[in-house]
Amino acid sequence: MAASSLLDLAPVVPVVVLDDAGDAVPLARALVAGGLPAIEVTLRTPAALDAIRAIAEAVPEAVVGAGTVITPEQVKDSVAAGARFLVSPGWTDVLLEAMKASGVPFLPGVSTTSEVVALLERGVREMKFFPAQAAGGTAYLKSLAGPLPQARFCPTGGIGPANAPDYLSLPNVGCVGGTWMLPADALTARDWGRIEGLAREAAGLSAGGTCR
């Protein structure tokens, strides 16, 4: 997968938090069947790396990545487990260099104009906008499009089916991240059919502008 393609794989990237790595493969299969191949497994639980490894081995049609990456060690461990992309909530030069050296696409997190400019200065054009709603939402991103049209974003945080289309209509948004297709009760019940249906609805959303 080319680095430039990460934001264009699907309009929505499911943000997955798993407590049981045994759920990883059926969940990934449901999401892929629903049309969402890019799957971000966050490193918020002890099961995360095992979940990434299981998906990478058993669901090759999925593009599994690691989220909440905040240290160089996590970069190394995630790629070793099979992560095909990396997402961070924020960035430092140390973390950025580790992600650049990883050999896989990455989305460093930003929430201010200065952070965006700093990444552009370092040759990075694709970023995560987080926490999207709390940091200014669509109005903020719309304001960035004029002076910084070369930056493209995956907004995450506070996004659901009601406001996702507003984000996806912006020319500088390639996709959004969210959890609404992964309701807690469906995960607890292992209702993969319901998750597949919600994923299919999310995959039907489309981005505007120069993006998907």
Active site residues: 40, 128
How many CA atoms within 13 Å lie on the side-chain side of 164?
25
**Residue 93 CA, distance from chain mean position:** 21
Spatial separation of the C-alpha atoms in residues 159 and 133, rounded to whole Å:
7
| Structural element, H or E, at residue 199 | helix 192-203
DSSP class per residue in 109-150: EE-SHHHHHHHHHTT--EEEETTTTTTTHHHHHHHHHTT-TT
Spatial separation of the C-alpha atoms in residues 106 and 6, rounded to whole Å:
8
CA separation, residue 152 to residues 18, 187, 196 (Å):
28, 31, 28
Q: Percent helix, strand and coil across the chain, each rounded to 5?
A: 40, 15, 40
E strands, 4-69, are 12-16, 38-42, 63-67
- Joined together, the tokens standing for residue 199 give 């994923």
